[in-house]
Structure 1
Amino acid sequence: MSTPLSFVGTAPHSPWATYLSQVDRVVPYIGHLAKWVETLKRPKRALIVDVPIEMDDGSVRHFEGYRVQHNLSRGPGKGGIRFHPDVTLEEVMALSAWMTVKTAAVGLPFGGAKGGIRVDPSQLSIKELERMTRRYTSEIGLIIGPQRDIPAPDVNTNAQVMAWMMDTYSMNIGSTATGVVTGKPIHLGGSLGRVKATGRGVFVTGREAARRIGLSLQGARVAVQGLGNVGSTAAELFVAAGCKVVAMQDHTGTRVNPKGFDLDKLRAVQSAGGGVAAHPDGEAVDAESFWDVDCDILIPAALEGQIDAARANRIQARMVLEGANGPTLPEGDDVLRERGVLVVPDVICNAGGVTVSYFEWVQDFSSFFWTEDEINARLDKIMIDALAQIWNTADRHQITLRTATFAVACERILMSRQERGLYP
């Protein structure tokens, strides 16, 4: 079996290597469709673009951008755009592949895609950020579109960035195309419930998993890594359900409070431009101590590659809810399984965002919009039903929820691949 040249030498702990390991583990559970598994190990299309912009001081800088379409067998590509100094092609490849699995796991008619620019957006003015976004959109306009590939917000991007992308694409084609991106401002065709959708999905899947393992949420202790949109929304919903957040970590620091944190104070601190380190309650501890916190539920909602074997051995939680993409390395997964810690994997746990993105896309095509209560009810049903099927698959094969999610998703993806056939 040949190996694509560009993948030779992949680092053992890279996001792409993690994804490939996850695919290998699912092969025994997909029967005759294993014939097509190499389809999942190669992105369909990877675009690297130069993004030159004129800075406010008159100088010209060049940034490197990417858009990867991993698999389009089930529909147009779907996946976010991140602006971060550590963005690499390999990372974007892995994120696009996880989107392929994620959309299939919850039954959405999408494939997987992802994009990004290697940049620290905090170092750009608002006008520089706009010029960079618009130039990047023009460069990837070759392969995106409402029926081709639909970007969305991700790390360091938001509704304003999506508005610039939609406007740029629309100007280039000569007509308004609201469906080219999701996560837009409400008055430009965005959907109610989109901002909190990913965090809500983490909560809904966590609530259902807790019920199945007999963990009462009343008084349950929660530790959250990453207090951005996903982590903070999930934390708020768990607190509303009777839990208490006993540990928090973000890029500013780590704090522990066995009595539980007041999340209103956290919101006030964040509104003032601060982070966890500025929270007035609890005790400040070093970053590594976060993994030793005595808790019931751990929510890694930051970046990928956080839980290796060593950290997995220290985790005290009964359940890990993956709010981030790819936070657990394969060896960490193995340790958690051996220790009896339930992991609800990213490809189902944080699928709430892409699910409501699908709702937004559908609403844009019909120009008919739902209420937030309707959005949340539809989201909850899709997440609960998807988790139930995955749980049944895990029980039937005696495998982890991650492998079961991949089994359910990969069967759908590869069946589509088989039925569509090869062209020409």
Structure 2
Amino acid sequence: MTDPLALVDDWGPEKIVVVSHRRTGMKGVLVIDNTARGIGKGGTRMSPNVTVTEIARLARVMTWKWAGVDLFYGGAKAGIVADPNSPDKEAILRAFARALSNEVPREYVMGLDMGLTENDAAIIQDELGDRGAAVGTPQHLGGVPYDELGVTGYGVAESADAAAGRIGLALSGSRIAIQGFGAVGAAAAQRFDQMGAAVVAVSTAYGALYDPAGLDVAELLRARDQIGDGFVKEHGRGTALPPGAELTVDCDVLVPAAVQDVIDDDTARRIKARLVVEGANLPTSPSAQEILAERGITCVPDFVANAGGVVAAAFAMDTRYSGFRPETTVIFTAISARLRTNTETVLEEAQRLGVTPHTAGRGLAEERVRAAMVSRGRIPRAPRSSW
């Protein structure tokens, strides 16, 4: 078992709160990583395998993500140890919200992550009696429904287009492989399709489908809605592959958009894509990132490529108590502009310094967070020169 104190470094976490509720069996954790640039904001996930270390890692990603797109919120994340398909989901969610009523929404505002939906965000608001307790609620409640709008996947495709242009790859006509066909992967596939790219592989936990000539994205979405994630076995189109094989198919752009830690050193050596765009959080290990760079494969970091969700969340945060619903066209325009600019900036900085994009992007984000920590007196100012 990891000692939570061992997770603390120069950046955070500032607070780790572990909660439980005997009657419902709820167990959960909130990690507020760094609030130098603003209140803690990050998604809440529900999974039987949630750990404190996992949530702490994701909270740190949120610190860099907010700073990377230069928006003024702090890194945080929460997790609930439970099956999101449990018939007791609502009771567990309400118990979790109650247990964190000291922190929410004064120090942390809940959002959506793996296992939670727009309606779950509404349940949190209802339990705490506060519209400001969570964002990502349904549109009919005045919220910004991230998954329904597909904001994160949209941003991944916009980031990929910017990165492709920088390496001389025309996205239109290119071949895209996507791991994961949930909210992020499916929305990215739709946007790639609109851009004229061919989605040649998609996957779920049940397996993958591959067709070098391109899959029909609209047909895949219909099949998923009708059958569920098992459509990759029952769809009947394309070649069926085992889970994970989609990472190494012949393609131009690879988008890991499922879970963390899926590209290790061995997989990095077998990837055939020219460009990897991280739709999921933490899909590559640091050593895998180095291998990709050595092989001349550009890898756009998660905290850059999948930041469309945080841009949308910033709009939702801004209007939590407003009687007016945020304009979706404004949100999508902002996502495209910020992610394209940030992608180009990070890749240019990586080339200039001769480091991986992860190192370059994190360095830029660290500068912004460090400046905020100095201004707030959280770390000492550098001594003035006597000259």
Which TM class, normalised by the smaller chain length? over 0.9
1:73 aligns with 2:36: yes
1:189 aligns with 2:142: yes
Amino acid at match of 1:360: A
Residues 105 and 347 in structure 1, CA contact (< 8 A), matched pair in contact too: yes
Amino acid at match of 1:108: L
1:94 to 57, 74, 81: 57
State the alpha-carbon separation in 2 of the partners of residues 267 and 423 from structure 1: 50
Give, in angstroms, the shift of residue 104 of structure 1: 0.5
State the alpha-carbon separation in 2 of the partners of residues 159 and 323 from structure 1: 20
Give, in angstroms, the shift of residue 402 of structure 1: 1.1
State the alpha-carbon separation in 2 of the partners of residues 346 and 115 from structure 1: 18
1:239 aligns with 2:225: no
Between 1:233-242 and 1:367-376, the stretch displaced more is 367-376
Residues 193 and 376 in structure 1, CA contact (< 8 A), matched pair in contact too: no
- Structure 2: tracts of 5 or more residues without a match: 381-387
1:155 aligns with 114
2:266 aligns with 310
2:10 to 27, 32, 39: 39
1:374 to 327, 330, 333: 330
Residues 304 and 325 in structure 1, CA contact (< 8 A), matched pair in contact too: yes
1:337 aligns with 293
Q: CA 1:287/1:364 → structure 2, altered by over 3 Å: closer, same or farther?
A: closer
Give, in angstroms, the shift of residue 148 of structure 1: 2.2
Amino acid at match of 2:26: F
1:268 aligns with 2:198: no
Give 1 or 2: higher helix fraction.
1
- Structure 1: tracts of 5 or more residues without a match: 9-15, 21-37, 54-60, 171-176
Give, in angstroms, the shift of residue 259 of structure 1: 1.4
Between 1:211-220 and 1:295-304, the stretch displaced more is 211-220
Deviations 1:95-119 (CA, angstroms, capped at 9, x unpaired): 0110011001001110011111111
Give, in angstroms, the shift of residue 366 of structure 1: 4.3
| Structure 1 segment 285-300 matched on structure 2, within 5 A | 285-300=241-256
Deviations 1:123-181 (CA, angstroms, capped at 9, x unpaired): x22xx211111110000111121x521111100101010000011111xxxxxx32221
TM-score relative to the length of structure 2: 0.92
State the alpha-carbon separation in 2 of the partners of residues 316 and 396 from structure 1: 25
State the alpha-carbon separation in 1 of the partners of residues 22 and 154 from structure 2: 37
Residues 193 and 372 in structure 1, CA contact (< 8 A), matched pair in contact too: no
Query: What secondary structure does 2:314 align onto?
Result: helix
| Structure 1 segment 53-202 matched on structure 2, within 5 A | 53=23, 61-122=24-85, 124-125=86-87, 128-145=88-105, 147-170=106-129, 177-191=130-144, 195-202=149-156
1:418 aligns with 2:374: yes
Residues 219 and 242 in structure 1, CA contact (< 8 A), matched pair in contact too: yes
1:27 aligns with none
Query: What secondary structure does 1:299 align onto?
Result: strand
State the alpha-carbon separation in 2 of the partners of residues 220 and 309 from structure 1: 25
State the alpha-carbon separation in 2 of the partners of residues 193 and 64 from structure 1: 26
Identity over aligned pairs, percent: 34
Give, in angstroms, the shift of residue 7 of structure 1: 5.7
1:324 to 280, 298, 308: 280
State the alpha-carbon separation in 1 of the partners of residues 248 and 375 from structure 2: 48
Give, in angstroms, the shift of residue 386 of structure 1: 2.2
Amino acid at match of 2:127: T
State the alpha-carbon separation in 2 of the partners of residues 289 and 203 from structure 1: 21
Residues 247 and 256 in structure 2, CA contact (< 8 A), matched pair in contact too: no
State the alpha-carbon separation in 1 of the partners of residues 91 and 145 from structure 2: 28
| Structure 1 segment 357-368 matched on structure 2, within 5 A | 357-368=313-324
Residues 178 and 189 in structure 1, CA contact (< 8 A), matched pair in contact too: no
1:256 aligns with 2:224: no
State the alpha-carbon separation in 2 of the partners of residues 255 and 418 from structure 1: 50
Amino acid at match of 2:213: K
Between 1:403-412 and 1:277-286, the stretch displaced more is 277-286
2:21 aligns with 51
State the alpha-carbon separation in 2 of the partners of residues 351 and 52 from structure 1: 36
TM-score relative to the length of structure 1: 0.85
Residues 51 and 65 in structure 1, CA contact (< 8 A), matched pair in contact too: no
Residues 4 and 52 in structure 2, CA contact (< 8 A), matched pair in contact too: no
State the alpha-carbon separation in 2 of the partners of residues 77 and 261 from structure 1: 40
State the alpha-carbon separation in 2 of the partners of residues 160 and 77 from structure 1: 22
The alignment's C-alpha RMSD in Å is: 2.0
State the alpha-carbon separation in 2 of the partners of residues 143 and 189 from structure 1: 23
Amino acid at match of 2:199: V
2:168 aligns with 214
1:391 aligns with 2:351: no
Q: CA 1:229/1:218 → structure 2, altered by over 3 Å: closer, same or farther?
A: same
State the alpha-carbon separation in 2 of the partners of residues 94 and 303 from structure 1: 13
State the alpha-carbon separation in 2 of the partners of residues 422 and 402 from structure 1: 26
Residues 64 and 366 in structure 2, CA contact (< 8 A), matched pair in contact too: yes
State the alpha-carbon separation in 2 of the partners of residues 378 and 206 from structure 1: 16
State the alpha-carbon separation in 1 of the partners of residues 358 and 291 from structure 2: 14
